Structure 1
Amino acid sequence: MDGSLKTKLTTIAVVAGMLGLFVYGVSTFDVSIWRILSGFGNLGTFVVLMLPPDPGSLARAIIFVKALFETIAIAFLGTILAAILAFPLGFIAARNVVANKIVHFFARRSLDTVRGVDALIWALIWINVVGLGPFAGMLAIMTSDLGAFGKLYSEAIESADRKPVEGVTSLGGGKLHEIRFGLIPQVLPVIASQVLYYIESNTRSSTIIGIVGAGGIGLYLAETIRTLEWQQVSFLILLILAAVTAIDFLSAKLRFAIIGKRAV
């Protein structure tokens, strides 16, 4: 079969499958615009109950802020540990570094397996291993991001320019020299940018895993929702939004410092 024809048939099959899944979802989930419109009244009721944001007391506000910093620490430490551990795995999973197809296959599938389990599930697993608290949350973020970073690193390494590597080889450099002087300088800015983005993203994820007992502000968010303390809920949400905004601002500054304004 001609290569272009095979590509066209594959594309048609993928598009048809996506359309079929969309139709199945719409017909099965009882999607209705009227249900959404009628639900806006309930949403307005919740908004009124949440105003004005109020922690309840100064002592309660201090507890909430401390929990917020705990959430940020969970996200930061988990992301950094995952980034460090995934660094060698990314090279093992890259085709242009490890040519052995068997090693490459098992490296990629292992990363897919780890990445395929959501951070919330990893939190439940680690809670049963090390107990409740932020340590379990940090391990959940680390494990979840390990697979994602390994995949992203390997793709960045595979798309790196071959000319610097060939230049190192022409000067008599070995495989380690090719990696150290030919590949790492190219992929390091990309990797740093990805790590900074994940620190921001994991701040939100750490809030969710806190709900199941993995530490941080999520525990208090779940508690206030359960006890219908809506003004405290809105206060916690504002704290989370402020933290994510600040982290996004700082990470953007760092990204521009690392990879330059051309990233815009």
Structure 2
Amino acid sequence: MSATRTQRFEAEALAGLRGLAARHPSIFRVNWPRRLLSVAIVAVLAGLFVSGFWALGFSFARIAGGLDKLVEFAGFMLPPSPGSYATFLTYLMALAQTLAIAFLGTLTAAILAFPFGFLAAKNVIPNVFLHFSLRRGLDVVRGVDVLIWALIWINVVGLGPFAGILAVATSNFGEFGKLFSEAIEAMDKKAVEGVASTGGGKLHQVRFGLLPQVFPVIVSQVLYYFESNTRSATIIGVVGAGGVGLHLYEQIRMLEWQHVSFLVLMILLTVAVIDFVSGRLRFAIIGNAKIAA
């Protein structure tokens, strides 16, 4: 009985499908031009991928031939060692300097970009010319890599960590301005409308309707960038912007591979700790915000 009922249902479903196909043939007809276009786009992208590797000299033979050198370098790096206690203290101070560059640069960029994020948001400033010009200005700033900013600031203020702080702050200013404005534009308008319905002005709407929603997102983004900038501050130290990067570059030039592996291990451990702590803070902030909402 059950099998007969199932067969009847299947027959009715097929009949209904055939009826739909007869009434709406354009929906069930295979769109061959669109399908061929999709296949052609995938083929072109695959061709560009392969040709790009070929044009840039990609070779499995070169990789296989260099694996023995990679193993040899790994042997030179073991065991990681700073050499002496005095050198260890020097590396530790340089690492602390790198953390200070990342922290001060990130915090400075966040403070400066905070008001620009509101000015560049369409739902806060309806003037299309103002927020368009601000968005394009932020794009120009963030379009320059932090390493280029480091080279620029070194020529302006000289070598040292101050140039590194300015480089991180300048690069992150453009990125934070864009991220903050997009976060503000994505916020729910109901809270703002509620403040406006009680007679609140524009500033009250931003302060009590918009800011409580966007602040946890902004803090989460700043914490993530602090962890990312710890690695960036290591790189800009290579060009003379202070921090542990300068020592890393010097040890690579001197072929002191045990020192190099010790510095890399210090950086990895520091980034792992920062990532763990900032991840917990981000989860706590966003989780509490969701619970409160």
Output the TM-score relative to the length of structure 2.
0.82
Quote the residue 1:127 is aligned against. 154
Asked whether 1:171 is paired with 2:198, we answer yes
Higher alpha-carbon deviation: 150-159 or 35-44: 35-44
Cα distance in 1 for residues equivalent to 2:257 and 2:289: 44
Q: CA RMSD in A?
A: 2.0
Asked whether 1:91 is paired with 2:118, we answer yes
Cα distance in 1 for residues equivalent to 2:288 and 2:77: 40
Higher alpha-carbon deviation: 86-95 or 36-45: 36-45
Alpha-carbon deviation of 1:35? 2.1
CA displacement 1:128-171 (0-9 Å, x = unmatched): 01000000000000000000000000110000001001111111
Give the ranges of 4+ consecutive aligned residues of structure 1 lying more than 4 Å apart after TM superposition. Answer: 11-21
Alpha-carbon deviation of 1:241? 0.6
Asked whether 1:142 is paired with 2:169, we answer yes
Cα distance in 1 for residues equivalent to 2:44 and 2:171: 29
Q: How does 1:229-240 map to 2 (within 5 A)?
A: 229-240=256-267
Contact 2:80 2:262 in 1 (8 A): yes
Quote the residue 2:214 is aligned against. 187
Letter in 1 for 2:219: A
**Gap change, CA 1:89 and 1:15, over 3 Å in 2:** farther
Asked whether 1:32 is paired with 2:95, we answer no
CA displacement 1:234-255 (0-9 Å, x = unmatched): 0000110111011111111211
Letter in 2 for 1:77: L
Letter in 1 for 2:78: L
Q: Secondary structure at the match of 1:231?
A: helix
Q: Structure 2: give runs of 5+ residues left out of the alignment.
A: 1-33
Letter in 2 for 1:36: I
Contact 2:114 2:180 in 1 (8 A): yes
> Identity over aligned residues, as a percent?
64
Cα distance in 1 for residues equivalent to 2:247 and 2:161: 13
Quote the residue 1:203 is aligned against. 230
Larger Rg: 2
Higher alpha-carbon deviation: 196-205 or 254-263: 254-263
Quote the residue 2:281 is aligned against. 254
Output the TM-score relative to the length of structure 1.
0.91
Alpha-carbon deviation of 1:193? 0.5
Cα distance in 1 for residues equivalent to 2:184 and 2:41: 28
Cα distance in 2 for residues equivalent to 1:95 and 1:20: 40
Higher alpha-carbon deviation: 213-222 or 28-37: 28-37
Which of 245, 259, 264 pairs up with 1:218?
Answer: 245
Cα distance in 2 for residues equivalent to 1:144 and 1:36: 35
Q: How does 1:18-97 map to 2 (within 5 A)?
A: 19=46, 21-97=48-124
Q: How does 1:151-162 map to 2 (within 5 A)?
A: 151-162=178-189
Higher alpha-carbon deviation: 165-174 or 221-230: 165-174
Contact 2:216 2:289 in 1 (8 A): no
Alpha-carbon deviation of 1:26? 1.9
Cα distance in 2 for residues equivalent to 1:206 and 1:104: 31
Alpha-carbon deviation of 1:181? 0.9
Alpha-carbon deviation of 1:38? 2.3
Alpha-carbon deviation of 1:17? 7.6
Letter in 2 for 1:156: A
Asked whether 1:241 is paired with 2:268, we answer yes
Alpha-carbon deviation of 1:22? 2.5
Count of residue correspondences: 254
